[in-house]
Structure 1
Amino acid sequence: MTRRIVRTSIQLGALTCIVFLLLFILDDRFRVLPDAIHNALPAHTPGFVITDITLATCSSLNLLSSCKLDAQKWHRVEKDLYLNKGWLNHAYIHIERKKESELVETDRVILDVKVGRLDPVTSEKNQGAERWESRSGGIWLKRTSKRHASDSVKAITAVDVLFGADAVEARPGWEILDQPILLSNPGDNQEARLTVRRGPHVPIERPTVRVNKDGKFKILQVADLHLSTGLGVCRDAEPAGHNGGKCDADVRTLEFLGSVLDSENPDLVVLSGDQVNGETAPDAQSAVFKFAEMFIKRSIPFATIFGNHDDEGSLGRLALMQLTQSLPWSLSLPGPSSVEGVGNYYVEVLSRSKSTSHSALTLYFLDTHGYSPDERQFRGYDWIKKSQIDWFKSTAQNLKNSPAHQGYHHIRMNMAFIHIPLPEYRTQEDIVQGSGTFAEPPTAPGFNSGFKQALVEENVLAVSCGHDHVNDYCALSKDPKPDLWMCYAGGSGFGGYGGYSHVIKGGYHRRVRIFEFDMDDASIKTWKRLEYGERDKRIDEMIIAQGGSAVAP
């Protein structure tokens, strides 16, 4: 009887340990954090300064260790420095912050942060009175007890974590540290890097886009970047064996994008979905900053919509849009909450005269969602919903009657951007192909909600999508009168698939599409630029609208 009691007690004790272990893992590794928590730290609270930073590590095998410090004192940055890839190891950055008005003489405010194995004082010319203080993870802090260190001077006022050897900072006033945080048993996780902001939050103003003095307006459409957290791994790189077979996906993708930005000098960049490759982006924020930083440093406005992969990483659609919306030069908006999806909005391109706010061109952006909500009946992908179509039609009608539109006395034009193609893209026998390659069956939704007809009724001249990487054609319905051009941009990112050998001879080169509007003759011209081969040439150049109407090829 005694042996049975002892055996039962041992079993219960073992079961209790397992339960505690599972609770710990579920809490710190597998939980899905709300979008608000993911973005909790970067939001600045005016008047706060950072007084300390520390690193908390824990192990799934040690029930006594914890990655949570006293919440009354410490604020945790909700990003596991192992990116949740460490089955045993976890680590989190914690900060201590105080209001300036509550600082006392004994409080020490952080003036500088560095990461490294050696005391930074050994490499400093002007050491100053403050000494560097060591923290775990190779973090060094320079703090001062002077109460004048404040939001408006040199004090550190916010701290965040980004990941990857190629991580960049896109927010004004922020700087990313050169060296990654030093972790024990790092494994194959991406480098975790501290990024800090000095001084107050810099307010962001939504840019105004306007037709140039020569009457032209150029849009660069970038589809399917498929950026990762870190350098990324190339898929279907062309030409095969290029650069000795070495190909870091994001590095090559962004180098291509940068070269097109510098050569084409667009007035607006439209990112038409799958900017983030969710499966390889455990920190989506790091991926977003990589493309946004390119536009910000060139002072080019940009607008985004989402594809079916963007929200498969660490951030949901709304959090991604809020993050993108908060960046300089961003025109992105979540759209009305009463309309299904995130990213249903429009952008007005104003006339060349800076003395007026009249609209010469309206660009519509709609969320095509992800995967079919009814796989039994309609396999594949989701469709544009009735609430979106109703919003689009009422918005178009209201704009048409607005002073901004009524006051423009030339021919106005309209265009739309989506990610997943409309069902009308699919029926090749019903379209007239202008230029480009029809290389894979369009993966349009199985259900046709009628958005194409709504576009025609509201005088939209062209719609352009992404999603099918190796399709890059523009096509027109075989109607007696040309109505709507349906274009593909072609995939631009090496993190996504790049062709089918049985369809595309010699492989598929990544590309982007440009639309140039000429308001003087109400025309639209389009062409593409290649990543490799005829890189400095325009290819498949054609006119798709003239006199404010779609024209046949």
Structure 2
Amino acid sequence: MTRKLRQLLQLLAFAGVIFLFLFVADARYRVLPNSLHNHLPIHHAGSVITDITLATCSSANPLSSCRLDPDKWHRIEKDLYLNTGWLQSAFVHVQRKQEEQLEDDDKVVVGVAVSKVNPGSSDGEKGWESRSGGLWVLRSAKRHDSDSSRVVTAVDVLFGADAVEPRQGWTVAQLPLQISADPTAWVTVRQGQPKAAVAAKPRVSKNGRFKILQVSDMHLSTGVGKCRDAIGPENRPVKNCEADPRTLDFLERILDDERPDLVILSGDQVEGPAARDAQSAILKFAAPLIERKIPYAAIFGNHDDESGYAMSREAQMSLIQSLPYSLSKPGPDNVDGVGNYYIEVLAPSPSQHSALTIYLLDSHGLTPDEKNFPGYDWVKQSQIEWFRSTATELKAAKAHAKYTHIHLDMAFIHIPLPELGDRENLVVKGGSWKEGVTAPAFNSHFFDALAQEGVVAVGCGHDHANDYCGLRPAAQPDQDSHKKTTHHGPWMCYAGGSGFGGYMGYGGVHRRMRLWEVDTNAGRIMTWKRVECCGEDMKRRIDDVVIVEAGHVVA
């Protein structure tokens, strides 16, 4: 080996060590999968944005970094490539100051755009500053602009060609960032100070009716998603179908046709592995509800926080809770799960008494004990105790006790109760039993608690192709007896799968949603389903069943 060759090899080895050191150092700043979406938009009460930029880095370039000076810049913790870029990452960074800390020569951001050309050429504004990725920033040197409605007070990033921004005061850029990301990345900003979310109070209409739309298993993605088991005209399979647009079109059709008073989102709104940015998926299903000013409440399924890149249940609930018209709540900290709460539906105005109580509980995800109880998790004892104590307190409350009609109680979970799969002891009505019931292998007897506290109906999801209602007979008479069989409530009803991002199959089953109509004057509950099909059948209503009459469960 010659001397020059030896020196060259030593130089390459030294460069390799430096490269490895810098790569590891930069990796410290990369977002870990479990924390990718556990963020809030870059804003703080009373703060304003003074600058925005975009930083790109590559693991092939040891001198590049995806984190700017942390003393000056705050990074929005969303990789614009969603960790799928080959050796490449990019992050939006912002500078911010508390409003009272602004100095006379400070500039504040009053406009943000993504464009291939200077936005000033079309809007007449001077002073637009170019940043990488097609990002343009307009900053004002006037300090008093910090309290105007134009000043940018928060910045966020959404993903997908179908990204929407329904949050109050927020606007998404007209074009995605000019980088080779798939799905596309969009900058969205809030101008002016934050506005409080609209607080909705559900109330029975003057005719005594209250209608609930239960939407389960939408399985929305980041981006448009791909359809699974889609059916088209003449019941033929559909290929090359975009899942989320078709799911959301179905939802909007039913919202406009049925005009529900409340929407219950009963789990698996998000398809965990396909939703690398759950926030973008959540805003998609919230948008049509907010646009129509319909109150809604959400619980989680086993897929909502699935995969290593998932947004935690706590973070998802925090986001959903902050949105307009949302009634969603995380529930008590000392109770297992996220999303154990109840909703009171008031009697017709001006009454302040409760006509209907709706309990919502987290049924969790996969079993914590696969060896002894394989499959899925169950409603825990702390949740059952919370439900019992809450039901007891509400029954004694004046808002219930002084209601002059029949007060009714319902409940919603995602994973079905074990009793819904008991074929030998179940009366099945109003739908089909297409697939095996994937209820928990361990029975925590939540059904018994529901029955003892007088809940008359419980809705669930999870098994997409099942859409029946089941009722347990409480006593079977002798063959020679003339006594009628009594029944043991509550009725248990599947919603059926609504989303094209989730499976269906089983010989060709159309997506569907369940409606519940409560007649408080008669103490009656009727339920039916709406089917997404084809052509004139798009608005088909099927399987009408009266399950409660005069406040009592009926078969």
SS of equivalent residue, structure 1 residue 478 = strand
Instruction: Give the distance between the partners of 2:12 and 2:63, measured in 1 at CA.
Output: 20
> Do the aligned residues in 1 keep the contact of 2:428 with 2:468 (CA within 8 Å)?
yes
Equivalent position to 2:424, from 419, 423, 429: 429
Deviation at 1:536, TM superposition (A): 2.1
Name the counterpart of 2:540.
Answer: 537
Residue 310 (structure 1) aligned with residue 304 (structure 2): yes
Between the aligned partners of 1:52 and 1:243, the Cα distance in structure 2 is: 50
Q: Which runs of 5+ in 2 are unaligned?
A: 476-485
Structure 1 counterpart of 2:170, from 171, 174, 177: 174
Q: What SS does the corresponding residue of 2:194 show, helix, strand or coil?
A: coil
**2:55 maps to 1:61:** no
The partner residue of 2:153 within 157, 160, 165 is 157
2:352 alignment partner in structure 1:
357
**Structure 1 stretch 251-260 or stretch 10-19: which is displaced more?**
10-19
Q: What's the CA shift for 1:34?
A: 7.3
Question: What TM-score do the two structures reach when normalised by structure 2?
Answer: 0.93
Match of 1:24 among 23, 26, 40: 26
> Does the Cα contact within 8 Å between 1:151 and 1:157 map onto a contact in 2?
no
What is residue 374 of structure 1 aligned with on the other side?
Answer: 369
CA distance in 2, matches of 1:215, 1:90: 56
Residue in 1 that maps onto 2:503: 497
CA distance in 2, matches of 1:338, 1:103: 42
Structure 2 vs 1, CA of residues 231 and 210 (structure 1 numbering), >3 Å: closer, same or farther?
A: same
CA distance in 1 between counterparts of 2:106 and 2:20 reads 42
> Equivalents in 2 of 1:341, 1:226: separation in Å?
20
Residue 364 of structure 1: CA displacement?
0.3
Which residue pairs with 2:340 in the alignment? 344
User: Helix, strand or coil: the match of 1:28?
Assistant: coil
Note closer, same or farther for the CA distance 1:131–1:20 as it changes in structure 2 (3 Å cut): closer
Amino acid aligned to 1:403: K
One-letter amino acid of the counterpart of residue 327, structure 1 = L
Matches within 5 A, 1:7-18: 14=16, 17-18=19-20
Residue in 2 aligned with 1:199? 192
Identity %: 53
Q: Is 1:283 equivalent to 2:277 in the alignment? A: yes
- Aligned-pair CA distance for 1:280: 0.6
Is the 1:306–1:343 Cα contact (8 Å) retained in structure 2? yes
Alignment check: 8 A CA contact 1:48 1:151 kept: no
Query: After the TM superposition, which of the residue ranges 254-263 and 7-16 deviates more from structure 2?
Result: 7-16
Is the partner of 1:368 in helix, strand or coil? Answer: coil
Please say if residues 177 and 195 of structure 1, whose CA atoms lie closer than 8 Å, have aligned partners that are also in contact. yes
Quick one: which amino acid aligns to residue 459 of structure 2?
S
How many Å apart are 1:245 and its aligned residue?
Answer: 3.7
Contact 1:151 1:198 in 2 (8 A): no
SS in 2 for 1:364: strand
Is structure 2 residue 449 aligned with structure 1 residue 458? no
Residue 39 of structure 1 and its aligned partner are, at CA, apart by 1.5
**Equivalent-residue separation in structure 2 for 1:243 and 1:491 (angstroms):** 17
Measure, in 2, the Cα distance between the counterparts of 1:369 and 1:288: 19
Per-residue displacement from partner, 1:458-511 (whole Å, max 9, x unpaired)? 0000111000000000111122322210100000000000122xxx3xx11100
Q: Which amino acid aligns with 2:277?
A: D
TM-score by length of 1: 0.93
SS in 1 for 2:143: coil
Q: Is the 8 A contact 1:47 1:151 kept in 2?
A: no
- Alignment: residue pair count: 537
> For each residue in 1:30-55, what CA deviation from the matched residue of structure 2 results, as whole angstroms up to 9, or x when unmatched?
4532765x1152xx423322111100
Is contact 1:275-1:310 (8 Å) kept?
yes
CA distance in 1, matches of 2:495, 2:33: 37
Structure-2 change in CA distance of 1:278 and 1:244 (3 Å)? closer
Q: SS of the residue aligned with 2:90? A: strand
Q: CA RMSD in A?
A: 2.2
Moved more, 145-154 or 453-462: 145-154
Q: Does 1:293 align with 2:287?
A: yes
Alignment check: 8 A CA contact 1:370 1:382 kept? yes
Q: Match of 2:482?
A: none
Contact 2:532 2:539 in 1 (8 A): no
Task: Give the superposition deviation at 1:393.
Answer: 0.4
**Aligned partner of 1:320: which letter?**
Q
